[in-house]
């Protein structure tokens, strides 16, 4: 059984996905990925959401640490983080090919809300994540 809105907002640290539902449905509502994500997430328990948020937190923290340490986005370590990112989406939300992940990476830079999410953690992180995802996709193609 899924969480109600207040429970979900609580486990997501105050983020309320319902605020963006109309935009998301308009942009992607007719896609298989949207339908699959809705199917999967509709039944997630609090434990599921806590595991999912911990996974993405660890991945994003890893990217930030590598950026701050001066690690190249095309290094093996950073590309491994990009692959973990892709597999996280694939297992939690919808099938995520490398091509799909590259489209997401472009959105992380182009959409100011995503860019701010990453860049608030570490300046330049949105572009760094994008570069790592693109390098990983080329490497694994």
> Domains (ranges, CATH) in the chain?
5-140 (1.10.490.50)
For 107-134, the pLDDT digits (tens) are 999 999 999 999 999 999 999 999 999 9
For residue 68, give every residue at least 6 positions away whose Cβ sits within 8 Å of its Cβ, in sequence order, or none. Answer: 122
pTM of the model: 0.88
Q: What is the pLDDT of residues 20-58, one digit of tens each?
A: 677 777 877 788 898 999 899 888 998 999 999 999 999
Structural contact between residues 96 and 140, judged by C-beta atoms closer than 8 angstroms: no
Each as own residue / partner, the long-range contacts of residues 60-64 (CB below 8 Å, 24 or more positions apart, any chain) are: 60/118, 60/121, 60/125, 61/121, 63/118, 63/125, 63/128, 63/129, 63/132, 64/121, 64/122, 64/125
Q: How many residues does the chain have?
A: 141
């Amino acid at each position: 059984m899924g969480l109600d809105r207040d429970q979900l907002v609580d486990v997501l640290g105050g983020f309320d996905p319902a605020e963006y539902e109309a935009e998301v449905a308009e942009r992607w509502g007719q896609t298989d990925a949207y339908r699959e994500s809705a199917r999967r997430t509709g039944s997630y328990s609090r434990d599921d959401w806590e595991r999912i948020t911990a996974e993405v937190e660890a991945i994003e923290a890893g990217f930030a640490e590598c950026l701050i340490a001066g690690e190249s986005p095309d290094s093996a370590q950073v590309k491994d983080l990009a692959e973990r990112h892709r597999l996280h989406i694939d297992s939690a939300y919808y099938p995520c090919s490398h091509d799909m992940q590259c489209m997401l990476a472009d959105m992380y830079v182009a959409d100011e809300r995503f860019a701010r999410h990453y860049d608030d953690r570490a300046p330049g992180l949105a572009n760094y994540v994008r570069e790592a995802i693109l390098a990983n996709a080329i490497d694994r193609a």
